[in-house]
Amino acid sequence: MAININNCSLRHNNTRARIYFPLLVPECFLIEPTETETKEAMDDFVDVMAKILEEANTNPDIVTQAPFTQPVRRLDDVQVVKELDLVWSE
């Protein structure tokens, strides 16, 4: 569910807060805003989390199928790890 919440936040154009998924604790994410985040940005983030909670309670498919507004829908996390393809260009 943690990755679904993150994907929903992309749909709400909220990419400011840094979200990290510790691999040691299942379904956990750590929200790490930088020191430069404004109170307004943090308030927006809280509002988005409240909207996602409401969506999860009323229409869970919206949350579990997100993101809808990004060029790539959902990545296969296992394949990404097994077939890592990094490109560096200057």
pLDDT digits (tens, 9 = 90+) for 38-75: 899 889 888 988 998 999 899 988 888 877 766 666 66
Residue 43 Cα distances to 34, 59, 62, 73, angstroms: 14, 24, 23, 27
Amino acid symbol at 9 = S
The verdict on residue 72 lying in a domain is: yes
Q: Per-residue pLDDT averaged across 73-88, rounded?
A: 72
The verdict on residue 88 lying in a domain is: no
The verdict on residue 11 lying in a domain is: yes
Domain that holds residue 72: 2-82
Question: CATH number, domain at 45?
Answer: 3.90.1150.10
pTM over 0.95: no
Total structural domains in the chain?
Answer: 1
pLDDT on residue 16: 53
Q: Per-residue pLDDT averaged across 2-7, rounded?
A: 77
* pLDDT band at residue 83 under the 50/70/90 scheme: confident
The verdict on residue 70 lying in a domain is: yes
